[in-house]
Amino acid sequence: MNNDAPRVVIGIDLGTTNSLAAIWEDNAPKVLAPDGLSAMVPSVVHVPKEGNPVVGSAAKAQTLVNPEHTVFSVKRMMGRGLDDLDLNHNPLPFAVAEDGRKLARVDLHGKLWTPQELSAWILVGVLEHARQATGAEIAAAVITVPAYFDDAQRQATRDAARIAGLEILRIINEPTAASLAYGLGQSEPQTVAVFDLGGGTFDVSLLSIEDGVFQVLATNGDTRLGGDDFDQTLVQLAKEELAGQVPAELFQDPAFLSAARLAAEKCKQALSSDPEAEMHLALPEYDLNWRRRVTRQEFETLIQPLVERTLQSCRRALADAELTTDQIDEVVLVGGSTRVPLVRAKVEELFGRKPHTALNPDHVVALGAAVQAHVLTGGTRDVLLMDVTPLSLGVETMGGAVSKMIERNSTIPCSHTEGFSTYAEGQTGIDFHVVQGERELAADCRSLGRFELKGIPPMPAGMARVGVRFAIDADGVLTVSAKEESTGTSSSIEFNPMHGLTDGEVERMLDEGFENAQADFDQRRVVDLHTELGTMLAAIARSMDAAQANLDPESLEDLTETVQAAEEAQNSQDLAQVQAVRDRLEQASLPLAAILMDGVVREAITGKKLDEV
């Protein structure tokens, strides 16, 4: 890290397939790409047996060579458990396990890595990309997430940034960022639909934009639907045609899974521009060299049910906002998967108008994040975001029902307080189960976590009055607090999503995951201290005659010995030792500093009258 380098704020699109950064520069947002390199950083992490993880293109190159230790689509695992990942239908070449709190972890060389840790390394890669492009240190960032990310997934994103040592200015929804990038609504009020189909997630958001105020009217989506699923239809096609020709166990082999996924992705991309393309799957070690021509029409038949799921989400969002397609002024396409011709055609058919495609769909989210970063750091652009929470939040009540505290599509930040009571005589605590979702029974909703309020004074059932407050901040992150109202007794509660990380775990990951980063920091600190010692020693050397003439013997001896220790410490790489010597030298030189200051004062007042001083 260079202390003299300027510090800038950026926008980051932490994507399923690729991630990238953008910055506000010369009155416009622009993506950051070092000379000769792409702006896109593949969201892939390769973990070698020894040394630090490798990120980006270098990691992606390991996908076929070392599939068991190369992780992709980390974003789909954020804040999720094994049941959410549906590995039976979508097997992965690397091993995924689950800890005691049902948090998905990736087993790499016998160590269990959380998605937050792996995402942190992707962020580190993006930050390094940004540093190379700007020549500046990154002070902070706005990070985007899918609009349909729930509380656990948003908290997981914040944890990843903390582990990466990155300050988050704000978390904003990807569709909202896209609207900012296009600068829609600048000339006249508009209602905009943002259709965001990425590698692993899908969102649709409806926004009202007027006079720089971006208000989200409704959002809907699916965090388990994206381009990866389009790829899987082609992988399944390959499996069906190879069945009987190869051993069945080959379909579970990491090498086959990685090769098939990459072949499917390449074929899919080619079909966006060509009427047909070849899917080629080669595994020499298994004597497999399979080729298959796939037409665009055949591919569209395979993905039609997936595309229809995106359209159903659009219809639900329209219903929630009480809008018809005729009331939508503009449609914006976001995410690389919107390049698929069938997707574009179906979106145009649904909304009855051609969507905006002027900006690169892979770049548009990062560009919008850069706009918001500029606004939050004092930029002159007059923009106000009014986002919404995608799912309702509530608590389980007696009998397993759900009491909704914050309804879906509520504008954030927001809060709501509701009263609860005890149901047993002398009850001194209440156990709250926090859930997210639209179903009426807690068992059918997603569990975010539990907390217990203790310290309620014993009293008859139903007499205690406990006010429970749900609050969602501007990042969409939930906090919960409670207070016993009848006596004024309050109690703090700790709320950790079941799929989130505790502060202790984050701190441990900071220590474990970035040992080299800490070593680099320590080394830089040693260099800085050496420089500081050199400056102090030079100043003392210039004043040594004054020291010998005016210091008492004890102070002079202390100073002389400390100067010698400081000269020796300039060759030491031990941070603690160098720091200790520097502090000791500062103390030992205080009597000399006092003598020198006295001399300066005497010289300043010599020959002057009292009223001239």
Question: Would you state the pLDDT for residue 603?
Answer: 63
Is 174 noted as a catalytic residue in this protein?
yes
Which residue out of 117, 150, 159, 174 is catalytically annotated? 174
DSSP secondary structure string, 132-145?
HHHSSEEEEEEEEE
Q: How far apart are CA 12 and CA 373, in angstroms?
A: 10
| Burial (CB count <10 Å: 0-12, 13-18, 19+), residue 597 | exposed
* 469's tokens: 């407050």
Question: Would you state the pLDDT for residue 106?
Answer: 93
CB 337 within 8 A of CB 226: yes
CB 147 within 8 A of CB 196: yes
Q: How far apart are CA 234 and CA 226, in angstroms?
A: 14
Could you tell me which residues are beta bridge partners of residue 263?
Answer: none
Interval 571-587: pLDDT, tens: 888 888 988 998 899 89
Q: How far apart are CA 612 and CA 252, in angstroms?
A: 92
Question: Would you state the pLDDT for residue 537?
Answer: 87
Interval 348-379: pLDDT, tens: 999 999 998 878 889 999 999 999 999 888 77
Beta-carbon contacts of 121 under 8 Å, excluding residues fewer than 6 positions away, are: 45, 53, 55, 164, 513
Q: How far apart are CA 498 and CA 151, in angstroms?
A: 10
Residue with tokens 């309020």: 453
CB 417 within 8 A of CB 469: yes
CA distances from residue 455 to 301, 426, 434, 452 in whole angstroms, order as listed: 61, 11, 20, 10
Beta-carbon contacts of 469 under 8 Å, excluding residues fewer than 6 positions away, are: 415, 416, 417, 480, 481, 482, 483
**How crowded is residue 512: how many other Cβ atoms within 10 Å of its Cβ?**
11
Indicate the DSSP class of residue 445.
S
Give the type of residue at 137.
Answer: E
User: What stretches in the chain show pLDDT beneath 50?
Assistant: 1, 185, 493-496, 498, 509-510, 513-516, 520, 524
Which residue out of 13, 228, 229, 475 is catalytically annotated? 13
Is 425 noted as a catalytic residue in this protein?
no
Question: Would you state the pLDDT for residue 412?
Answer: 81
Structure-derived torsion over alpha carbons of residues 191, 194, 195, 199, reported in degrees to the nearest 10: -170
- Write phi, then psi, for 377 (nearest 5 degrees): -110, 30
CA distances from residue 421 to 91, 243, 453 in whole angstroms, order as listed: 46, 61, 11
CB 31 within 8 A of CB 40: no
* Domains of the chain in sequence order: 7-226+303-386 (3.30.420.40), 227-302 (3.90.640.10), 393-500 (2.60.34.10), 514-605 (1.20.1270.10)
Question: Would you state the pLDDT for residue 490?
Answer: 65
User: Closest Cα to residue 262, out of 547, 62, 542?
Assistant: 62
Which residue out of 159, 196, 228, 265 is catalytically annotated? 196
CB 498 within 8 A of CB 448: yes
**How crowded is residue 52: how many other Cβ atoms within 10 Å of its Cβ?**
14
Which residue out of 75, 117, 150, 228 is catalytically annotated? 75
CB 460 within 8 A of CB 425: yes
Beta-carbon contacts of 402 under 8 Å, excluding residues fewer than 6 positions away, are: 394, 395, 396, 435, 437, 439, 440, 441, 442, 445
Helices 575-588 and 590-605: crossing angle, nearest 10°?
Answer: 40
CA distances from residue 146 to 331, 374, 450, 565 in whole angstroms, order as listed: 17, 21, 25, 57
